[in-house]
Homo-oligomer: A and B are copies of this chain.
Amino acid sequence: MAAWGERLAGVRGVLLDISGVLYDGGEGGGAPIAGSVEALARLKRSQLKVRFCTNESQKSRGDLVGMLRRLGFDISEGEVTAPAPATCLILKERGLRPHLLIHDGVRSEFDQIDTSNPNCVVIADAGEGFSYQNMNKAFQVLMELENPVLLSLGKGRYYKETSGLMLDVGPYMKALEYACGIEAEVVGKPSPEFFKSALREMGLEAHQAIMIGDDIMGDVSGAQRCGMRALQVRTGKFRISVITVIREV
């Protein structure tokens, strides 16, 4: 295995996942992962550009950053690439009026979006909002459309809270895909467009950046497919058995 210096040659910027890398969410807002506040502070003091690339879709960027600052992290809203604002751009560009199956915490990101007479469904990590009734409503809206459009803020399988593993938006996206016989458009990691927008905001090329995350698919494979380097941390949703499966493929 190459030495660290060699593996990181030419890296000018670091993209950091947030949940499972900086902190684990959960009761009372969650807790920082040991050493992460200091590691981020050290990165910020270095010559490296730092940007946060998250699929967080339960909270608005403002609420997310406020929570992280209270936990001691040096982070500002302008440094965060998140799927909700990216989705709003797409909705406006394509004249889409969404039925929103989202968490109340992220609803403010969609304040400027016309949701009357929906012609698409936007699904995000709704948490407890993934009731049968809410899923069924989204399903019915899609089935009424001649050309059903489903936008999904990420497609993560699960994430880790302090209390344990929690279902993410991906399984619910798959449920609606199967129910309606359609394929969702993913806004967020591992979509190449999403990584590219984060790189643009850093002013870097893919080969100049490294993505650090806890998700072997969303963070590591996704970034590598874009030509970036990637590193998986052993925190958050990292589990030895998942690595074993990936290596066996």
Residue numbers of A with Cβ under 8 A of B are 126-133, 135-136, 139-140, 143, 157-158, 164-168, 170-172, 174-181, 245
Also in contact, A164 and B178, with CB within 8 A (given A127-B132, A130-B135, A132-B128): no
A165 → chain B, closest Cβ, in Å?
A: 6
Write out the residue numbers on chain B whose beta carbons fall within 8 Å of the beta carbon of A180: 157
State which of B128, B139, B164, B178 has its C-beta within 8 Å of the C-beta of A174.
Answer: B178
* Chain B residues whose C-beta falls within 8 Å of the C-beta of A168 in the assembled complex: 179
Known: A128-B132, A128-B133, A135-B130. A164 touches B179 (CB 8 A): no
* Bound: A171/B175 CA distance, A: 4
Contacts of A174 in B (CB 8 A): 171, 174-175, 177-178
Question: In the assembled complex, how far is the CB of residue A134 from the closest CB belonging to chain B, in whole angstroms?
Answer: 9
- Most interface-central of A164, A167, A180 (chain B CB within 10 A): A167
Q: How far is the CA of A176 from the CA of B245 in the complex (A)?
A: 17
Q: A174-B174, A174-B175, A175-B172 are in contact. Are A139 and B127 (CB under 8 A)?
A: no
Complex-state Cα separation, A161 to B133, whole angstroms: 14
The contact of A165 among B133, B135, B139, B157, by CB within 8 Å, is: B139
Min distance, Cβ A230 to any Cβ of chain B, angstroms: 20
**What is the minimal beta-carbon distance from A147 to any residue of chain B, in angstroms?**
11
Instruction: Report B-chain residues with C-beta under 8 Å of the C-beta of A129.
Output: 132
Give the docked Cα–Cα distance between A178 and B177 (Å). 12
Contact B135 A164 (CB under 8 A): no
- Which of A131, A157, A179 is the most central at the interface, judged by chain B CB atoms within 10 Å of its CB? A179
